[in-house]
Structure 1
Amino acid sequence: MTAPASLYSVAGNALTPLQLIDQSRQGLTGTEAGRVAGLLAVSDKEMARLLNQSVATFHRQAKMGKLDPVTSERLLILDQLAIYGASVFQDAGKFTRWLRRPLPLLENHSPLDLLDSSTGIQLVDDILGRIEYGVFS
């Protein structure tokens, strides 16, 4: 990711890539999925899609306590992206509105449409970096 502090834990502390892997393997709690959904201003249905799960699976995992490593890793990365986006736009609301706006650069897909894949997350992160440095308007 482009953000200066690399990746963040759910408590907002910087994580190294190895710490991210370790935390992912330990699994996040189901409540963290709701918190990240709040940061991105997405519904449960949208969050389930971002995690490549059905809504039923998303709800079941959220109630189980610990999420699986793949889901935990995706949540940590989406958490990082939300923190970075709010920083770039200097306002969480502006960032979440931007996430839903179709962009010509993305062939009129919204950034949110792409966050269900690691390539899409990286692409959105790159665009945020361009915005941060004034390359993309």
Structure 2
Amino acid sequence: MKIQRFLFILNIFIGLAGLMGGFLAISSDARLAFGIKESMLVNSPFATFLIPGLLLFLIIGLCNLIVARLNAKKTSTFPYYECLMGIIQCSWIIIQCIMIWSIAPLHLIFFSLGLIQLIVGIWLVKKTNSSFPFSAHQNE
């Protein structure tokens, strides 16, 4: 299915971007090389980029790669996890923009990718009529 292949590539792309972004946030040398200053965090609850970097690495990076694997294995619950990752991606971008009081072109791009994940995930749920993960009705 072309849609699932598209989502697989999208999950891999977002996952790798999350891993790289998380690594950049965690590594002080990499942050300095890219001109990312801790003064950006003045309006956030964080004093350093460690916690946001770990969250970006684990939740956006690794979880998107896990969803890509679920897609490749053709699990019936994959569309729900795709929707979840779309919601997380969009929420992450909104919260990040609020915390740093800035919107950059990459924010708009990754917010749009999250919306695509969510919308296509919802479409796949309706199209495949798949059961909700951990639902009592999935064994019928």
TM-score (norm: length of structure 2): 0.25
Give 1 or 2: higher helix fraction: 2
Larger Rg: 2
